[in-house]
Amino acid sequence: MSFNPSLKPSSDKTPSLEQVQSAFTDALRYQNDASTIGIISERFTADERVQIYRNNFTVSLSEVLLAIYPNTQLLVGEECFDAIAKHHIIHNPPISGDVTTYGKGFDQTIASLDNIISAEPYLADVALAEYRMDQLLSTGKPSISSYTLSLSELQNTPESIHPNIVLELKPSITLFQSKYAIASLFAALDSMSFEGLEINQAQCCVISIDDVTGQPIVSAVNSRLFTLINCLQQSQPLRQIDPTLLDLLPSLLVSDWIQGFKIDDPM
């Protein structure tokens, strides 16, 4: 395939390379007609030639989306997922040549499709949870600060200093709230057993990475524990946290979500 540099769609000047590239990008996204690019075509029409690139472009990015959103596809089926993916790709093309960073906002695309949301109203939340999982996986395992003390040292910390303790969550943790039973749904998808699933029950969730398997886990927690973890994410010392929540600390300390602690200077 070649391009005709003498094409003059709206000007007497020869289009620049940047203009040709922009026109080609728009054609890939179905935003303009392939004939505006200036393709010299013999056996195939300009649109037929561009369609080859459109197909490769869409398939490649659809595979990226599938890698991030496997449970979303499982819930709607391959054909429906491919249609949603194509819609997302056309309206949200990558802005970088690095497609490994592509995929953000897929939940918003789903939420904008009334026919999908009316059938599976929880689907956008599933997609957002999967994106959060992918983000945790992509960040890798961060190193622990030299200022972080091991939890085993808590027992040697004077009681007078306890109010100044800041419990540090593992970086591979994020919080997630939904009007739907998202954690229960992920568990049901893992086991392919949906008996007893009450999808319309709101859940507070903790998304974490299992230290052994390296796989993301979605755990449901009660609202009080969720609030406590949120306080810890903001690096609040124990003295600033609602005392009625502190009775949850023992169960939190054995949850494997805390990596250590430090002492806050109240000055």
Asked if 144 and 129 sit in the same domain, the reply is no
Q: How many domains does the chain have?
A: 2
187 in the same domain as 259 = yes
Q: CA 153, 159, 164: angle at the middle one, nearest 5?
A: 80
CB 161: neighbour CB atoms within 10 A? Answer: 11
Residues 22 and 107 in one domain: yes
Domain shared by 231 and 175, yes or no: yes
Listed residues 75, 106, 136: the one ending a domain: 136
What does the pLDDT read at residue 3?
A: 40
Looking at the fold, whether 146 and 206 belong to one and the same domain comes out as yes
Q: Which residues contact 99 (CB under 8 A, 6 or more apart)?
A: 60, 61, 64
Site of tokens 């997609």: 127
* 127 in the same domain as 13: yes
Q: pLDDT-based confidence at 151, cuts 50/70/90?
A: confident
Which of 86, 116, 136 is a domain's end point?
136
Give the Cα separation of 43 and 46 in Å (integer): 10
What's the whole-number mean pLDDT along residues 69-79? 97
Q: Print the domain residue range for 93.
A: 2-136
Q: What are phi and psi of 168, to 5 degrees?
A: -105, 120
State the pLDDT confidence band at 6, using cuts at 50, 70 and 90.
very low
- Pick from 84, 114, 136: which residue ends a domain? 136
Of 70, 66, 178, the closest CA to residue 121 belongs to: 178
Is 91 in the same domain as 211?
no
Which pLDDT band holds residue 105 (cuts at 50, 70, 90)?
A: very high
User: Are residue 19 and residue 128 in the same domain, yes or no?
Assistant: yes
Mean pLDDT over 78-93 rounds to 93
Structure tokens at 188: 């049901």
Please tell me whether residues 54 and 143 are part of one structural domain: no
- Chain centre to alpha carbon of residue 135: 6
Whether 12 shows a pLDDT value over 80: the answer reads no
Please, are residues 48 and 57 in contact by the beta-carbon 8 Å criterion?
no
Confidence of residue 7 (pLDDT cuts 50, 70, 90): very low
Same domain, 69 and 56: yes
Average pLDDT over residues 119-131: 98
Are 102 and 184 in a shared domain?
no
Residues 110 and 144 occupy one common structural domain: no
Residue-wise pLDDT tens digits, 204-225: 999 999 888 989 999 999 999 9
Residue 157: pLDDT over 50: yes
Q: Encoding tokens for residue 230?
A: 């949120």
pLDDT digits (tens, 9 = 90+) for 163-188: 999 999 998 899 999 999 999 999 99
